[in-house]
Amino acid sequence: MEKFQRYYLSFLLLIVYTNTIAQVNCNAVEGEDCKKACELYNWASDRQGSRESQEAFDKAIGLCSDFSSSYMEKAVPYFKNGDFITWKILIDKAVAADHKMHLGYRGWYKFQFLRDYKGAIRDLEELKKYYPDDLGRSLNRDYHLEVVKAMSYSALGQKEKAVGIIENLLASKGYFKGMYDHYQLGVTYFELSRCDKALENFEKQSKENNFAENIYFKSKVSKIRNKDYLDLKKLALMTYDEGKTMKDVYTHHFNKIYRKQIEEL
């Protein structure tokens, strides 16, 4: 029941976050021009991607260049269309206008979509100056941004550092676990040839949120130890075919595994 409540809460948070991220309380904005810019922003955000929307963001920026959200929302359609150069120009302006609000967003995008791991680490380290106790969560709510930083270090080959970051986070008081924390930690331990710690985390992941990728790595540990791994391999394939895998609406997860890899085990 506790596990259900945790992930149900995560789902609700995602819905609330998705539905409210674009809207701003314009009464809290100082200056008449900036209030008008805010109102234009709210209007345009509901029409994101249209020509009218982009023109409204331009007007908002013209009225109040410090209103950072206009740059951010204007950038989104360019990213979706694969124009990462224009996206970066605009999101950099958003960050310049408000570091605290947009550094986490930019860092997450650099990690998840652009695979710019060094850039992600820089942004998240900079964000820590503003939020030393809690960086917040990724846009899709699956990860704490400290875990995102750890995965970035892992991707760059600094796996011991990645392990240290996640272990410290899991041990911290009041930490709310992400969907795949133990899995990502387990994979990193596996890549360090520390199979005992890897299996320990895969088992913990199984109890909280099991999926094909996690079972696949459990079978790999069994194979390395010269134990019977075929039953786990079959279970991983069956679980994969049932659709119980790591999912993301827009891209694939870090350390994502596909059916072909399971078949070849």
Cα distance between residue 48 and residue 39, in whole Å: 14
Tell me the sheet residues that pair with 144. 137
Beta bridge partners of 137: 144
SS3 track for 7-61 = HHHHHHHHHHHHHHCCCCCHHHCCCHHHHHHHHHHHHHHCCCCCHHHHHHHHHHH
In whole angstroms, what is the distance from residue 221 CA to residue 19 CA? Answer: 42
Contact 39, 56 (CB under 8 A): no
DSSP 240: H
Q: Could you tell me the two tokens for 85?
A: 């150069």
Please compute Rg for the chain using Cα positions. Answer: 21
Q: Please answer whether residues 136 and 98 qualify as being in contact, where contact means their C-beta atoms are separated by less than 8 angstroms.
A: no
Closest to 240 measured CA to CA, from 211, 209, 261, 203: 211
Can you tell me the distance from the alpha carbon of 24 to that of 207, in angstroms, rounded to the nearest whole number? 39
Check: CB of residue 46 under 8 Å from CB of residue 20.
no
Residues 6+ apart with CB under 8 A from 234: none
Q: Which amino acid is at 143?
A: Y
CB of 221 closer than 8 Å to CB of 232: no
Structure confidence by residue, pLDDT tens digits, 77-124: 998 888 999 999 999 999 999 999 999 999 999 999 999 999 999 999
**pTM summary value:** 0.86
Q: What per-residue confidence (pLDDT) applies to 113? A: 92
Per-residue pLDDT of the chain (265 residues; tens, 9 = 90+): 444 444 444 444 344 334 444 578 888 888 898 989 889 899 988 888 899 999 999 999 999 999 999 999 999 999 888 899 999 999 999 999 999 999 999 999 999 999 999 999 999 999 999 999 999 999 888 999 999 999 999 999 999 999 999 999 999 998 999 999 999 999 999 999 999 999 999 999 999 999 999 999 999 999 999 999 999 999 999 999 999 999 988 889 999 999 999 999 9
DSSP per position, 113-165: TT--HHHHHHHHHHHHHH-SS---B-TTSSSBHHHHHHHHHHHTT-HHHHHHH
Closest CA to 90 of 109, 70, 116: 70
Which pLDDT score, from 0 to 100, does residue 6 have?
A: 43
